[in-house]
A and B are shown apart, each in its own frame.
Chain A
Amino acid sequence: MEPEKPTETSPEQGSGTGDRPLWREEFSIYKADERYVSRRQLTKFLTLTSLAMFAGNAWILVKSWFRSRVSYSERAIARAGEIPVDGVKLFEYPGTEDQCILVRTGEDRYVAFSQKCTHLSCAVYYSAAHHRIECPCHEGYFSIEDGSVLQGPPTRPLPRVILERRGVDLVAIRMEVEKEAR
């Protein structure tokens, strides 16, 4: 049995929809109204979740827009012969927080990759014994030749740093993110 609704509200209570005070719209004392209020509040929550999903998609759009416009500066990262065969050197490229790994795989052969695993961003290292790049977190292995995935949870290859030899200097020119086959 619902209580009888009052036909008037005191003016000091403020007004919501029509003559009702605002607080009564949100906390109705009537069972019939409460059904509507609870549904409206749940719908509001669902709509805000939808807004969050859209914000996520917009964030990806902005990130991809910036990624397509990133410019790489040329920078000397090491000198030829500075590291032994099967030796490594860590360096930052293109930014100061982007760790990369340079590996000397032969007498006159150098390769460089981003040191961030494409699975969960652990730092990868070079395993000279297995001649591959390994991620210690989840045993993801990458080819030393081109950074492609050999095994493990990562599905994307390591971004490669394109190197150019200028005299005795090894110069990083740009990053090459190999697209995953669809």
Chain B
Amino acid sequence: MNGTRISQTRGLTAIDGAMALIVLLLVVQMWLLSATLDAYLAGHDDAALPGAVISDVLFLACGGLYLFVIRQEKLRRVSGASEET
């Protein structure tokens, strides 16, 4: 019972860390979008491609962290079920 609670706390801490990282990536992505839009409106097309590529990478990182959160939840369900049976 105590072991379950410790692993649950660790899982939640890991998820909280992943969420904080996603928020950080989102802030960077928002800045990137506004900077790219500003450059585009100023007539500079050369910033569009790097902006899109970096934004794609950041989105994939967010997706990876989302999968990590799902995995953590599944692990918690599996460990919770095995300890109950």
Which residues of A does B touch, CB under 8 Å?
Answer: 5, 7, 17-20, 32-33, 35-37, 39-40, 42-44, 46-47, 49-51, 53-54, 56-58, 60-61, 63-65, 67-68, 118, 155-156, 177-180, 182
Contact = CB atoms under 8 A, between A and B. Distances in A.
Contacts of A49: 26
A46 B62 contact: yes
B21 to A, nearest CB: 10
A19 B84 CA distance: 14
The size class of the interface chain B forms with chain A is: 35 or more
Given A20-B77, A36-B76, A60-B37, A156 B43 contact: yes
Given A32-B80, A43-B69, A156-B42, A60 B62 contact: no
Main secondary structure on chain B at its contact with chain A? Answer: helix
A114 to B, nearest CB: 13
A61 B22 contact: no
Contacts of B76: 32-33, 36
B42 A179 contact: yes
24 contacts: A5-B80, A5-B84, A17-B74, A18-B78, A36-B72, A39-B15, A39-B69, A42-B19, A43-B66, A43-B69, A46-B66, A47-B63, A47-B66, A50-B29, A53-B30, A56-B37, A57-B33, A57-B48, A58-B56, A60-B37, A63-B48, A65-B48, A156-B42, A178-B43
